[in-house]
Amino acid sequence: MRKKNRIEKIYKEYLSVKENNLNKWSESFFLKLFLDKNIFFVSLNRPLDGYLIARKTLDEYEVLTLATDINKRRRGIGTLLLTKLINLAKKDKVFRIILEVSENNIAAVSMYQKLGFKKISKRKNYYNNSEGFSDAHIMEKIF
């Protein structure tokens, strides 16, 4: 499949996951992002359940975004996506995964901690939304 068609296909998968915000990335942003061969998309056998987008940089993976369908949360889907990423990393001889998460995102922080991610630093006022500024935790998992 041509590269553009392949990216369009994953963009459809990405859009098909229902979330409560309207801030989905635009198709043009997505197409540009995925021109970078180090960016990859992770989904499960049922793509509508959720997605994860990550980047490989040298010898580490970075989670850029991750979400599960708003009506299917707390059923282990986020954990499955991250477990799949960890298994991909091991096969790829990558032994560190990093990510940024808002300190207010209790669900995500708890999930990452449960999977062995540790907080390593903080970025002050990194997020800015309707509730104002919030700090980001930088978390890593080394295995």
Residue number with CB closer to ligand COA (31 or 44)? 44
Quote the least distance from Cβ 31 to ligand COA, whole Å. Answer: 22
Q: Which residues of 79-111 are buried (b: 16+ CB within 10 A; e: fewer)?
A: ebbbeebbebbeeeebeebbbbbbeeeeebbeb
Q: Does 67 bind ligand COA (CB under 6 A)?
A: yes
Tokens of 64: 């850029």
Q: Does 120 bind ligand COA (CB under 6 A)?
A: no
Q: Alpha helices of 17-127 — where are they, by DSSP H?
A: 27-33, 77-91, 106-114
Quote the least distance from Cβ 1 to ligand COA, whole Å. Answer: 28
Segment contacting ligand COA (CB under 6 A): 22-30, 63-71, 84-92, 127-135?
A: 63-71
Distance CA 62, CA 47 (A): 21
Segment contacting ligand COA (CB under 6 A): 5-13, 23-31, 71-79, 118-126?
A: 71-79
Residue 116, CB-side half-sphere exposure with 13 Å CA sphere: 9
Q: Does 68 bind ligand COA (CB under 6 A)?
A: yes
Within 77-116, the residues that bind ligand COA by CB under 6 A are 77-79, 101, 105-108, 110-111, 114
Residue 1, CB-side half-sphere exposure with 13 Å CA sphere: 8
Quote the least distance from Cβ 59 to ligand COA, whole Å. Answer: 22
Quote the least distance from Cβ 88 to ligand COA, whole Å. Answer: 17
Q: Does 52 bind ligand COA (CB under 6 A)?
A: no
Distances, alpha carbon 122 to alpha carbons 108, 109, 118, 136, 139, in Å: 16, 13, 12, 6, 9
